Structure 1
Amino acid sequence: MKISFYGAARHVTGSCFMLSADGMNILIDCGLAQGTDERVQGDELPFKAETVDVMLLTHAHIDHSGRIPLLVKEGFSGAIYATEATRNLCEIMLADSAHIQQMETEWQNRKQRRAGKPAVEPLYTTADAEKSMELFRECRYGEVMELSAHVSVRFIDAGHLLGSASMEITVKENGEERIFVFSGDIGNFDQPLIQDPQYPKKADYVIVESTYGDRLHGGSGSGKPGSQKATTIARAQDLADIIAETFAQGGNVVIPAFAVGRTQEILYFLRYMLDHKLNGLQDVPVFVDSPLSVKATRIFATSMEFFDDEALELAKKGHNPILFPSLVTITDANDSKALNFRNEPAVIISSSGMCEAGRIKHHLKHNLWRPESCIVFSGYQAEGTLGRSILDGAQHVTIFGEQIDVKARVRKLEGVSGHADQNGLLRWLSAFADAPRHVFVVHGDSDVAPWFAGFLKAELGLRAYAPKFLESFDVLADKLPETPPSEFTSPQLRILAEAFTALSAGQKDVESIIQRLAKAADAPGLLTNRKKTLRLANAIQRLTSDLEYLKIKWDKDASA
């Protein structure tokens, strides 16, 4: 029984794992890597596609499904098991991904021809995407699927996205039986529209995500069982505050959002905001500008069997949870361009969520330089992406070869996440009746995944390890590794240490400024410098006050 880690190993994107048992090779997810992950992991398959017997897909997001057409193109012909909603979403998402691959290759080949270089081929085409859909086999939550005489799988609602699932795979080999649980992406409690994550009860080996293993979600009423109403109200109010402030200045609210899942969640909050006239807002023009988002919204709006109780209650009253009168969906490219020449403020929701492709780049180009506009991020931004650069405070970014000043306000909508935070992951892992033999921590940044593995050892007493890209383990024959103490260092502590080093390095500069001001305190030319120094002094004072507060709080917690 061997497990191989072909993606999302000390990375967040590109999920791809293979379980080899009873003479079968079972592939769990086959996603595209994004941002820095793509440069490290690449797009090519690190195994021969024809050697895969069957594939299990946890959910439709491209970082889990995006290489399926490549898998089929290179020779895979087995069944792909997924829920009905995942299959329906993949039909539009893989076609869209293929279209992007072809368009980007066409653009690249124009440059290749001008440089006298040979043409390149797309990773896959729309024909490959269509062919891959023929291999999908639908399955239901709780249903046991027999993959062979000695291998079965059961899908469990992961609460992350419409149709998302965790996988419970039971294997019998040479008289030994083992249960492997692949978490997929574990959802946040009380997300709009979809059910909360369900907990597997038994496992020998667990492969668990760790996207937010090192932190708790901010925002009131988020991520806790039974807090859905509070979550909805808090997020709707956050949006109302941002929209009211931005519209008062005559700017646009631009929301980069994943076409599938996050866009529909934002629409749910906006519908609540308008229904309850928060901040007096009525008839706010909201544009969903993404052909894929529009198609996905239609699937969500008609998939009530996957809705949670709150969304079902609205549907029973005749209200669609994600549609409202002032919502306009845009598919035509000319209509999309016209948005940037409107005279009235608007809310523009567009993809891709990490700002790497799609129409969102045009909207950023036309709004980032405007101080009256606001860019609102609502999802994870991978390292190396345009979205991450903007969120991290870049003063300039390059879009379509043009340098754009970042003058717009940049906000992060706190508490909105399709991923469980640290507490949610601990609840999920604590639900097993007996402790698993071993836990493999995946789907986390290079500093987060190993830290979370060490944290599981300290907090829950679990044997845990964050595998590296391309590592494989025979769970019956190999001595399975655990996270070494050298890697069990809090990412936040590392950041704080780096900040302290920077402060120490800057101490001499501060002392020099003080001495120069003391010597020429009344020089008229130093007025501007004195103002800047005063701001610096105030910043240092705030920092020392915050550190003192943190110390008092820690001392108080330690003595409690």
Structure 2
Amino acid sequence: MRLHFVGAAQEVTGSCYLIETEGLRFLVDCGMHQGGREAQGRNLARWPMDPRTLDFVLLTHAHIDHSGLLPRLCAHGFKGPIYATRATADLLSVMLLDSAFIQESDWARQQRRRGHGRRTPRADNELLYTVAQAQACLAQVQGVDYDTALPAHKDVRVHFRDAGHILGSAILELELRDGGRQRKLVFSGDLGQPGRPIVRNPVAIEQADVLLVESTYGDRLHRPLEETVDELCAVIDDTLSRRQGNVIVPAFALGRTQELLVLLAQLRQSGRLPPMQVFVDSPMADKVTAITARHRDELDADGQAFWGTGRHLPPGLQVRFTQSVEESMALNRIKAGAIVIAASGMCDAGRIRHHLRHNLGRPECAIVIVGFQAEGTLGRRLVNGERRVRLLGEEHRVRASVHTIGGLSAHADRDALLGWLRGFKKPPRQTYVVHGEAATALGFAERVKAELGWRVRAPLVGEVVEL
């Protein structure tokens, strides 16, 4: 029985793990690499196995760094089922089609530039996948209920447990039989921070032979939610009321946008925020929000209350979802009083780039970062305090204030990760720390070893271990 770390080992994106036994081969996650010049080349690289030989794929959740290469996998010959929670299955119909549209648009833009004699990266000669290929892939997705045993194969039984990260996110408990041996593997997926708005807390797991645990924020603590809310209120009030500018929020269309809407409604209802015009400039976010409402039974009390009343908004809060490109462009004519929430969350694609282009150079405006920013992304450069950034082929000075509101992260911080690990009744035989930048993953592995006394390490991409 072998475990192959295909991606997200001493790195954050590209989550993918290959499990092989006698007569069985399957993947857990099939994510896209994001951030940095090497990402597209890695997405286009050859698979470490023949996709036609895979029996099935298990998916922890719908974020593109966990699901984004599924259409390419299917286009290269994978014909088996893709198992995910029912909410994740619904979300994939939005996420993968949007990703494919971006792939086609970016590829076409590169071809036009090449036609005008401009040099472009060699990797961009190949289109990652098309909208048609993404649509074909969706036919292989099968929705599964939480906490119900899935016989994925005669030698594999799987339970999907709530990971508390985003709608539909799951911890995977796998019972594998290989000859006369049986092993229990647990994949944490991305774990959420307990007590956050909308989603439920991660489910505790008590036993595993082999555990893979994420470590995105394994080297730091999030600010307490109360302090985070205080900071968010201060930034919005100062920007809208005193400085007379706009607040620009790069936010993932899935998860963060819906949490922000609930939080803004609560803060306006309590009188902590001034009257606001909120523009959600993302057709995908609009679709995701509708899916969230359909699956409100999987949310916490705050989420169920908000969507159970038909997304009722308090007086003084206007929320508008923009659809067309023309509506999006019109927002750039608003010079003050607007909160614009747009994707992508790391500022490297989508409509957020245009809003940053029109507001980064204005000292009266604020850029509010509410999620993890991977190395190599524009969002990371803003968080790091760079005063000049390249955006849409042009250099821009950063005069707007940049605020990192870390307490709204969808990922568990160091202490929350350790708290989840302490829920195991006994140490797994082997624990692998994954889904964290190299220094973070290595440091968290050492902390787990020191505090819990577990056998643990952080593997490298491409490493293969015998279980």
Which TM-score applies when normalising by structure 2? 0.95
Cα separation, 1, equivalents of 2:312 and 2:127: 38
The aligned counterpart of 2:83 is 81
Q: 1:356, 1:385 within 8 Å by CA — same for their partners in 2?
A: yes
1:216-227 aligned within 5 A: 216-218=221-223, 220=224, 222=225
SS in 2 for 1:208: strand
Cα pair distance change 1:453/1:344, threshold 3 Å: closer
Asked if residue 19 in structure 1 is aligned to residue 19 in structure 2, the reply is: yes
Q: 2:43, 2:128 within 8 Å by CA — same for their partners in 1?
A: no
Cα separation, 2, equivalents of 1:433 and 1:455: 19
Aligned with 2:343 (options 351, 354, 360)? 351
Cα separation, 2, equivalents of 1:393 and 1:186: 28
The aligned counterpart of 2:54 is 52
Cα separation, 1, equivalents of 2:12 and 2:236: 31
1:328-347 aligned within 5 A: 328-347=320-339
The Cα shift of 1:413 comes to 1.1
Q: 2:97, 2:134 within 8 Å by CA — same for their partners in 1?
A: yes
Deviations 1:361-403 (A, max 9, x none): 0010110100000000000000100011111011101111111
Cα pair distance change 1:315/1:91, threshold 3 Å: closer
The aligned counterpart of 2:35 is 35
The Cα shift of 1:311 comes to 2.6
Percent identical: 41
Cα separation, 1, equivalents of 2:349 and 2:44: 17
Aligned with 2:250 (options 246, 256, 277)? 256
The aligned counterpart of 2:140 is 135
SS in 2 for 1:166: strand
The aligned counterpart of 1:498 is none
Cα separation, 2, equivalents of 1:97 and 1:311: 27
Q: 1:267, 1:323 within 8 Å by CA — same for their partners in 2?
A: no
Cα pair distance change 1:323/1:388, threshold 3 Å: farther
The aligned counterpart of 1:238 is 231
Of 167-176 and 298-307, more deviation after overlay is shown by 298-307
Deviations 1:489-519 (A, max 9, x none): xxxxxxxxxxxxxxxxxxxxxxxxxxxxxxx
Cα separation, 1, equivalents of 2:335 and 2:349: 26
Cα pair distance change 1:353/1:321, threshold 3 Å: farther
1:97-136 aligned within 5 A: 97-115=99-117, 120-136=125-141
The aligned counterpart of 1:270 is 264
Asked if residue 320 in structure 1 is aligned to residue 311 in structure 2, the reply is: yes
Tell me the C-alpha RMSD between the 2 structures: 1.9
Q: 2:247, 2:367 within 8 Å by CA — same for their partners in 1?
A: yes
Cα separation, 1, equivalents of 2:283 and 2:314: 16
Of 432-441 and 108-117, more deviation after overlay is shown by 108-117
Cα separation, 2, equivalents of 1:333 and 1:426: 45
The aligned counterpart of 1:91 is 93
Give the structure, 1 or 2, with the largest relative contact order (CA under 8 Å, sep 6 or more): 2
Instruction: Return 5+ residue gaps in structure 2 as ranges.
Output: none
Cα separation, 1, equivalents of 2:312 and 2:61: 22
Of 437-446 and 450-459, more deviation after overlay is shown by 450-459
Larger radius of gyration: 1
Asked if residue 426 in structure 1 is aligned to residue 442 in structure 2, the reply is: no
The Cα shift of 1:298 comes to 1.6
The aligned counterpart of 2:161 is 156
Cα separation, 1, equivalents of 2:174 and 2:42: 26
The Cα shift of 1:39 comes to 6.4
Asked if residue 460 in structure 1 is aligned to residue 452 in structure 2, the reply is: yes
Cα pair distance change 1:129/1:278, threshold 3 Å: same
Deviations 1:216-267 (A, max 9, x none): 112x3x4xxxxxxxx5xx5444322111111221110000001100111111
Instruction: Return 5+ residue gaps in structure 1 as ranges.
Output: 223-230, 476-560
Aligned with 1:435 (options 418, 427, 451)? 427
Which TM-score applies when normalising by structure 1? 0.79
Asked if residue 401 in structure 1 is aligned to residue 393 in structure 2, the reply is: yes
Of 97-106 and 234-243, more deviation after overlay is shown by 234-243
Q: 1:367, 1:408 within 8 Å by CA — same for their partners in 2?
A: yes
1:511-526 aligned within 5 A: none
